[in-house]
């Protein structure tokens, strides 16, 4: 086995075969996957020199799954498009959109889900489970269908976009709508999964999922001609994705493919911004918000599970976590659609709202290379789109 799990709190290292994966048995903190980078580095460097299309599994040398167990629907390999008009209007010379809405189920979750579901197959789970604001459930449902696993979805009643609910339904998940918000749903899912080996929880507290999501960093590095950007801007909800992308860039450094790493800028919706709050007040801990509210339903989250990983990512990288109002998010969604040809759901457009704000706040210099992560396709949330289209 080439990987180990390490606690992000007490740093103890565990053999993955021996412990449940959602929390450190010693101190309860989250875990992350670690490798022996010195021994794997050479093979990884060779694999990224080989020609061939970009994809999550191109990077299997730094993924914790044996290839025999892989469940894939051709995820990753998403476009990096260079901004024209929007960048010019902001007086920025090099802005890119990494369009993860191009994944099989229309969001970045597929990068993580291919790894999490492969791991479920590897450990012979029979059922997978998640709490979701929509995209995780759509993705899990598709990969569970492909793998022939049962799938259970917990969603906050009336709070997720119809497109995403339909995806989970057509792929055959069992859907349980709960009273309460996403945070309550995740709490319930954690309890359901605890101590039950056949039932595998694939939320982003599952460290295997984040391994898949880190591959966005590898792809961006390749797409920019083996160069890391100066800044990466990411929408933040449960805070798994920004943590995963940061891990990817750090690993590029561990295997000596880059000496530099980017600044990570997270963007939360103003109505659901506990991390931005902790960052602004320079607190060491995040205080959950009981009633998060925003039009960007995918990131309507008051108690981000990966808060500690995310705060570390922005502090270590000398980035920031900022907030954008619903008006700013909707304006960014419109700009992306009308000037760049990219239709993003509101939560995705938060990264572009963040770009505009970060430039105004002088967090970005005009000549810096900036990548905004577009996390999910606009067709998923037709209600939000209809509102901005004036229907
Ligand atoms: N953008 C979109 C489109 C999302 O669906 C999510 C999260 C995020 C950004 C934020 O990513 O949680 O890793 O910080 N959606 C989750 C879900 C919570 O259940 O689909 P994060």
Kindly report, residue by residue over 303-329, the tens digit of the pLDDT. Answer: 999 999 999 999 999 999 999 999 999
Q: Which two tokens stand for residue 177?
A: 């709508």
Question: To 5 degrees, how large is the angle CA 60–CA 34–CA 285?
Answer: 125
**Backbone angles phi and psi of 277, in degrees to 5:** -65, -50
CA-to-CA dists, residue 253 to 227, 249, 358, angstroms: 11, 7, 26
Place of tokens 């999910």: 376
- Please list, in sequence order, all residues whose beta carbon lies within 8 angstroms of the beta carbon of residue 327, skipping any fewer than 6 positions away: none
Positive/negative CA dihedral, 257, 206, 307, 329: positive
Looking at the predicted structure, is the pLDDT value of residue 117 above 90?
A: yes
User: Rounded to the nearest whole angstrom, what is the distance from the C-alpha of residue 299 to the centroid of ligand 1?
Assistant: 6
Looking at the predicted structure, is the pLDDT value of residue 116 above 90?
A: yes
User: Rounded to the nearest whole angstrom, what is the distance from the C-alpha of residue 41 to the centroid of ligand 1?
Assistant: 31
* CB atoms inside a 10 Å sphere around CB 130: 31
Looking at the predicted structure, is the pLDDT value of residue 391 above 90?
A: no
**Backbone angles phi and psi of 365, in degrees to 5:** -95, 150
Going by C-alpha positions, the residue among 12, 49, 18, 52 that lies closest to residue 30 is 12
- E strands in 30-169: 31-35, 80-82, 94-99, 127-131, 150-156
Q: Out of 141, 165, 241, give the residue to mutate to test ligand 1, the one with the largest number of ligand atoms within 8 Å of its CB.
A: 241
- Please list, in sequence order, all residues whose beta carbon lies within 8 angstroms of the beta carbon of residue 374, skipping any fewer than 6 positions away: 97, 98, 99, 100, 101, 336, 342, 344, 348, 349, 351, 352
Q: How many CA atoms lie within 13 A of 221 on its CB side?
A: 26
Q: What is the SS3 assignment for 3?
A: strand
Looking at the predicted structure, is the pLDDT value of residue 17 above 80?
A: yes
Question: DSSP letters of 290-317?
Answer: SS---S-GGG--SS-TTHHHHHHHHHHT
User: Rounded to the nearest whole angstrom, what is the distance from the C-alpha of residue 283 to the centroid of ligand 1?
Assistant: 23
User: Rounded to the nearest whole angstrom, what is the distance from the C-alpha of residue 52 to the centroid of ligand 1?
Assistant: 29
Q: What is the pLDDT of residue 110?
A: 99
Q: What is the pLDDT of residue 285?
A: 96
Q: What is the mean pLDDT of the chain?
A: 96
In contact, 118 and 124? CB cutoff 8 Å: no
**pLDDT tens digits along 195-211:** 888 999 999 999 999 99
Gyration radius of the chain over CA positions:
19
pLDDT band at 390 (very low <50, low <70, confident <90, very high): confident
Nearest CA owner, ligand 1 atom 3? 376
CA–CA dist 330, 50 (Å, integer): 41
In contact, 138 and 161? CB cutoff 8 Å: no
Higher pLDDT, 249 or 384: 249
CA–CA dist 319, 316 (Å, integer): 8
**Predicted structure pTM score:** 0.98
Q: What is the pLDDT of residue 63?
A: 98
Q: What is the SS3 assignment for 323?
A: strand
**pLDDT tens digits along 345-369:** 999 999 999 999 999 999 999 999 9
CA–CA dist 22, 203 (Å, integer): 9
User: Rounded to the nearest whole angstrom, what is the distance from the C-alpha of residue 65 to the centroid of ligand 1?
Assistant: 24
Alpha helices (runs of H) in 123-254, residue ranges in sequence order: 135-147, 162-170, 182-193, 207-213, 215-223, 240-254
* CB atoms inside a 10 Å sphere around CB 53: 8
In contact, 292 and 301? CB cutoff 8 Å: yes
Looking at the predicted structure, is the pLDDT value of residue 283 above 90?
A: yes
Q: What is the pLDDT of residue 49?
A: 96
Pocket (CB within 6 angstroms of ligand 1): 107, 132-136, 204, 235-241, 298-299, 345, 347-348, 375-376
């Amino acid at each position: 086995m080439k990987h180990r799990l390490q606690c992000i709190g007490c740093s103890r290292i565990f053999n993955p075969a021996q412990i449940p994966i959602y929390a450190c048995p010693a101190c309860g903190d989250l875990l992350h996957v670690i490798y022996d980078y010195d021994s794997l580095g050479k093979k990884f460097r060779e694999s990224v020199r080989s020609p061939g299309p970009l994809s999550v599994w191109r990077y299997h040398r730094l993924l914790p799954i044996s290839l025999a167990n892989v469940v894939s629907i051709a995820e990753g390999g998403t476009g990096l498009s260079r901004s024209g008009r929007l960048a010019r209007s902001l007086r920025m010379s090099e802005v890119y959109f990494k369009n993860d809405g191009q994944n099989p189920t229309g969001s970045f979750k597929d990068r993580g889900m291919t790894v999490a579901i492969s791991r479920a197959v590897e450990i012979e789970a029979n059922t997978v489970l998640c709490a979701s604001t929509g995209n995780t459930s759509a993705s899990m449902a598709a990969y569970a269908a492909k793998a022939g696993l049962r799938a259970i979805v917990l969603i906050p009643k009336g709070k997720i976009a119809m497109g995403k609910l339909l995806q989970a339904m057509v792929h055959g998940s069992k859907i349980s709508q709960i009273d309460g918000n996403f945070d309550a749903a995740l709490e319930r899912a954690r309890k359901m999964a605890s101590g039950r080996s056949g039932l595998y929880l694939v939320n982003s507290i599952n460290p295997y999922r984040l391994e898949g999501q880190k591959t966005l960093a590898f792809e961006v590095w390749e797409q920019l001609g083996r160069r890391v950007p100066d800044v990466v801007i990411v929408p933040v909800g449960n805070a798994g994705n920004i943590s995963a992308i940061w891990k990817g860039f750090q690993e590029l450094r561990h295997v000596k493919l880059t000496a530099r790493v980017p600044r990570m800028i997270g963007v939360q919706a103003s109505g659901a911004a506990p991390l931005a709050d902790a960052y602004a007040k320079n607190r060491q801990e995040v205080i959950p918000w009981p009633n998060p509210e925003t039009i960007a339903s995918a990131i309507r989250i008051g108690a981000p599970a990966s808060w500690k990983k995310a705060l570390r990512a922005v502090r270590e990288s000398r980035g920031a976590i900022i907030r954008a109002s619903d008006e700013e998010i909707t304006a960014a969604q419109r700009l992306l659609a009308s000037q760049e040809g990219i239709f993003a759901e509101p939560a995705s457009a938060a990264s572009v709202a963040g770009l505009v704000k970060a430039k105004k706040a002088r967090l970005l210099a005009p000549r810096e290379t900036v990548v905004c992560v577009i996390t999910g396709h606009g067709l998923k949330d037709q209600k939000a789109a209809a509102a901005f289209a004036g229907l």
